[in-house]
């Protein structure tokens, strides 16, 4: 939402006659059945009737609040997360292990079992919970970056890339595969891809 809403405001200014009907959910939506023209997901589609294109790369970070660090201390490496009470996103791949690899490539990929007593079904609420000091959370960079810069969050493992499933992490633009793509959808796709390339 932090990335999308400013772009929607610019889109509305450029195309005031196009009606936008947003469905904000972390649940999977059947785009064809539910007549959804366009979706942004943090994973590529596995549906045969959906076209999927990479919108922008993402980086995940394990973040916590300064208050959490004052109470529990810093981490001496990714393995230390196995003993921490993390804030978890409810999607299955985010709940049981996180993957890590050093930026310099040394050591290969580490798979660290994680657990937590706070499991949340909304990614922005996971972010808010981390800011409130409820525990370390796996946050996407474009959500966490302003708070990292302002000192409201701390990157617990700055030498590592983190992920829940693989390191080809990105935001993906999806739309139903059909012979005719409405002009309003094509215009929105082109509009969203332009700022993503510059971001």
Residue range 138-188, pLDDT digits in tens: 999 889 999 999 999 999 999 999 998 887 788 888 888 877 788 888 899
Q: Which pairs count as long-range contacts for 188-197, CB under 8 Å and 24+ apart, including other chains?
A: 188/11, 188/18, 188/37, 188/38, 189/38, 191/7, 191/10, 191/11, 191/14, 191/15, 192/7, 192/40, 192/55, 193/53, 193/55, 195/7, 195/10, 196/55, 196/56, 196/171, 197/56
Residue 157: C-alpha distances to residues 128, 141, 185 (Å): 19, 13, 40
d(CA 33, CA 42): 21
Residue range 91-145, pLDDT digits in tens: 888 889 999 999 888 889 999 999 999 999 888 999 999 999 999 999 998 899 9
Residue range 20-71, pLDDT digits in tens: 888 777 777 888 888 888 888 877 667 778 888 888 888 999 999 999 999 9
Instruction: Report the pLDDT value the prediction gives residue 1, as an integer from 0 to 100.
Output: 57
Angle of helix 123-131 versus helix 141-150 axis, rounded to 10: 20
pLDDT band of residue 196 (cuts 50, 70, 90) is: low
CB 87 within 8 A of CB 116: yes
Instruction: Report the pLDDT value the prediction gives residue 197, as an integer from 0 to 100.
Output: 47
Indicate whether 3 pLDDT > 50: yes
* Domains of the chain listed by start with CATH number: 4-55+169-198 (3.40.190.10), 60-163 (3.40.190.290)
Highest-scoring range by mean pLDDT, 4-8, 60-64, 193-197:
60-64
Alpha helices, H only, 3-138: 4-14, 66-72, 92-95, 123-131
In the block, tokens 């929607």 appear at 8
Category of 67 on φ-ψ map: left (φ > 0), alpha (ψ -120 to 50) or beta = alpha
Instruction: Report the pLDDT value the prediction gives residue 93, as an integer from 0 to 100.
Output: 81
């Amino acid at each position: 939402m932090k990335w999308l809403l400013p772009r929607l405001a610019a889109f509305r200014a450029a195309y005031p006659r196009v009606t936008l009907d947003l469905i904000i959910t972390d649940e999977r939506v059947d785009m064809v059945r539910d007549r959804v023209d366009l979706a942004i997901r943090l994973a590529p589609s596995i549906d045969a009737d959906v076209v999927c294109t990479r919108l922008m790369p993402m980086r995940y970070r394990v973040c916590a609040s300064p208050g959490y660090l004052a109470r529990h201390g810093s981490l001496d490496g990714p393995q230390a997360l196995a003993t921490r009470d993390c804030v978890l996103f409810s999607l299955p791949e985010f709940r049981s292990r996180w993957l890590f690899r050093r930026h310099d490539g040394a050591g290969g990929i580490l798979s660290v079992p994680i657990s937590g007593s706070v499991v949340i079904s909304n990614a922005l609420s996971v972010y808010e919970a981390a800011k409130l000091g409820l525990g370390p959370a796996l946050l996407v960079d474009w959500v966490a970056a302003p708070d990292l810069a302002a000192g409201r969050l701390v990157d617990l493992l700055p030498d590592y890339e983190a992920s829940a499933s693989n390191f080809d992490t990105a935001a993906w633009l999806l739309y139903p595969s059909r012979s005719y793509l409405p002009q309003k959808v094509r215009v929105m796709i082109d509009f969203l891809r332009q700022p993503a390339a510059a971001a």
